[in-house]
Structure 1
Amino acid sequence: MQPTFLPAPLHRAALRLAHRLRNRWRRWRRVPLAGVSLVLSDGAGRVLLVRHSYGPDLWALPGGGIAAGEDPLQAARREALEELGCEIADLRELDVVDEEISGSPHRAHIFAGRLTGAPVPDRREVVEGRFFAPDALPEQLGRLVRPRLALWLGSEQA
């Protein structure tokens, strides 16, 4: 769970500042990163997208960084619980992608699964979560969403 000693509005402001500083640090240091990206469905073929309190005002997939020594599968489960208050059923890894994020090399472990229960955004890091049909996605999508959804759709049809 996220720390709750800060009021949510102050926590969101701190996250926005930390996001900007982290991006500058990454561009300068080019430290390799590892993270998880979650394609989570509701069992009816719709996918969950979230809006974060920091960064551009775009819809994105839930996910986050992998802690030192943490297994990617455990990181995926932890991120869903922290950000959405939900467990994941049928969790499976779709792919591992090497890319660049914020000027640093990034290894993304892309997972798919089904949420058990209704997502409840933490209102600190994630301010909104909504399910969308793959053919009715919002226009304001993060640049990594469509390629990751294509992996998921390909795995669902296989």
Structure 2
Amino acid sequence: MPPLLPRSLHRLALRVAHRLRHVWRRLAKPQLRGVSVILRDPDGRVLFVRHAYGPPDWSLPGGGIARGEAPEAAARREMAEELGLTLGPVSELGTIEETISGAPHTAYLFLAEIDDAPVPDGREIVEVRFAMPDDPPQPVSGLAERRIGYLLKA
């Protein structure tokens, strides 16, 4: 099925939704759940992504967990939707309790080895880059730095 909106309009809608979501989180303080996936290539480099919305920082791929969805299933879905990747075995590195935009957030952190080249969807993810985990591209988000810390400790 072809997309309903051209990429440029879709990215604009994402930027507006991103700002509204921050306001909603600060006011309603819902309990949120999400996933982050550290994708590592055969050379030990980690995949960083840049979103079409929000700050221009490099981050890790991931996203929200749908109601009734298991965290690993959400990780697999997000990687397929945003990067065109079908993941093989994944391992859970940990669970992180944090606050994002004033709301409590539980992040499930996964690690997966990949051989295939990611293909950003061009709508939500506009750029990808591999880098060594101890030398991420700049500017890198604080969330990504904390999550990479889990990998470096493992």
User: So what's the TM-score if we normalise by structure 1?
Assistant: 0.93
Hey, which of these two has a bigger chunk of strand by percent?
1
Residues 22-54 of structure 1 deviation map (CA, whole Å, 9 limit, x = unaligned) = 110000000110000111111210000000000
Letter in 2 for 1:87: T
1:64 to 2:63 alignment: yes
Matched residue, 2:6: 7
What stretches of structure 1 move > 4 A for 4+ residues in a row?
A: none
Matched residue, 1:126: 125
Letter in 1 for 2:74: A
Residues 85-118 of structure 1 deviation map (CA, whole Å, 9 limit, x = unaligned) = 0012231100001100011000000001112410
1:54 to 2:53 alignment: yes
Secondary structure at 1:78's aligned position in 2?
Answer: helix
Conserved 8 A contact 1:86-1:116? no
Distance 1:56 1:146 in 2: 15
Matched residue, 1:77: 76
Gap runs ≥5 in structure 1: none
Q: CA RMSD in A?
A: 1.3
Distance 1:136 1:146 in 2: 10
Residues 69-89 of structure 1 deviation map (CA, whole Å, 9 limit, x = unaligned) = 000000000000000000122
Matched residue, 1:32: 31
Identity among equivalent positions (%) equals 53
Gap runs ≥5 in structure 2: none
Conserved 8 A contact 1:41-1:115? yes
